[in-house]
Chains A and B, each alone.
Chain A
Amino acid sequence: MSETTENLQQLPLGDWHRALGARMVPFAGYEMPVQYEGVMAEHIWTRTEAGLFDVSHMGQLQLTGEGAADALERITPGNLSALAAGKIRYTLLLAQDGGILDDLMVTNAGDHLYLVVNGATKHDDIAYMQSQLPDGLTLNHLTDAALLALQGPKASEALAKLNIQPLQAGWPLPTNLYFMEAGPFLWNDIPLGISRSGYTGEDGFEISVPAEHAVALATALTELEEVRPIGLGARDSLRLEAGLPLYGHDMNPDILPVEANLSFALSKARREEGNFAGAERVLAQYPDTAATKRVGLFVDGRQPIREGATVIDDTGATIGTVTSGGFSPTLQRPIAMAYVPMDLSQTGTAITVEQRGKKIACTVADMPFVPHHYHRKPKS
């Protein structure tokens, strides 16, 4: 990134990260911690214990008003009007031509919808939503809230030690939430919005906390023996292993949901209604008629391939692009995501990638590369 340090905004936990020895880098217009003790160690800690991530750069939005879910459905393909209170859905913000403007989480918070959008796109998202949503709705950017993610197999055990109570007696504790459920809670009289979700493939929580209490909460969590602070570097390697796409890299406005391998985000009811932005173009690719598709790649050898490397055919012609790539600390081998022609998207297909003039053999792999460990609600 080419941002200059002078224009960077500080997040509520900026000084807290620096005091813990984090290396700070510009990211999405903010100074953010990229690593503390090292990406590899932080990655493995999150996969085996619990990691605390500061994701306060992300946009937290509140959409209020009669018909909010129906209105948001005009620009997203998720079945939001059917979302029960306390449930979360992953969806996509779509341009009028169906291109992906962002990916986001939408929670039915009872009297409003709570949205979490990407940090780098939040201002554009807000402008687009305001242009598309009816006047009767209010879109509120929660700029005075921090967002923490607690992720890992010991996340639940750690969170249980904080004595967080439901906002109303009789409601479930945060550790009783299942994957993709959320609720309002109190911690020392501080209101918290907690969801069981994340971006690592592990069980875990995302916690919205008033900015002035972010340091107290982050400190209380990292004082637990299971929890260490984790930087953005490991956040990226964790989400790559989990097969989760990153906006601006694996998705952009020129890419449609089906080719991005995100057909699961086109809910059945919405496909049948076909009444979201760009539906005609988006659904023309459904279920499998796109020319290209985002796939996972196992890379032969030890050398990682990176975003921007090209997928080539036997003649050396470019037929695709690597959009994310790195070294998997869990698998101890390089992995990547790439767009390849549909006829080369089957698991096991041999693919050649060219990077800095060198040809590297790869194989299309199932994603996630490392299994998810979500705390899902048992099927009844």
Chain B
Amino acid sequence: MSRYFTDEHEWVEVEGDTATVGITDYAQEQLGDIVFIEVPEVGTELEQGDDAAVVESVKAASDVYAAVSGEVIEVNEALEDEPGLVNSSAEEDGWFFRLTLSDKDELADLMDEKAYKAFVDDL
């Protein structure tokens, strides 16, 4: 099991062919109080870079792009009633959706935890 990160502040946890996607703690901190999350429907085929989800804070809406390509197989239904999970537990309970990876080579473009930490420290 390994975790990857993007420069758009998403994390991707890969286990076999399945990836779980969410936004990082840094991202939730920047967004502030999250009041709604629009996740993709199960069955959606996402291409890397597609609009995958929308995070709504009190003030603004932010797009979440698909970090990797694949078919959405599960969404975090707890976010519907409790979007604040993303504030309290962005990198665990506040995951957004799971997908079946269609191109594992895409993972090579992503950062590991150490590289992401250095990236954030530089911001």
Contacts and interface: CB of A to CB of B under 8 A. Distances in A.
Nearest to B61: A306
Interface residues of B, number: 15
Nearest to B35: A327
A304 B32 contact: no
Contacts of A34: 59
A233 B36 contact: no
Contact of B35 (A41, A302, A306, A356): A302
A34 B31 CA distance: 12
A354 interface: no
Interface residues of A, number: 19
B36 A39 contact: no
B36 A303 contact: yes
Contact of A306 (B38, B60, B80, B83): B60
Interface in A336-364: 356
Contact of A326 (B38, B58, B83): B58
Nearest to A302: B36
Given A39-B33, A304-B36, A237 B60 contact: no
A43 interface: yes
A35 interface: yes
A39 B58 contact: yes
A39 B54 contact: no
Contact of B33 (A40, A302, A306, A334): A40
B58 A303 contact: no
B32 A39 contact: yes
Nearest to A43: B58
B83 A302 contact: yes
A329 B36 contact: no
Contact of A356 (B54, B59, B80): B54
A236 interface: yes
Given A237-B59, A304-B35, 12 more contacts: A34-B59, A38-B33, A39-B32, A233-B32, A237-B58, A302-B80, A303-B36, A303-B38, A306-B61, A326-B59, A327-B35, A327-B36
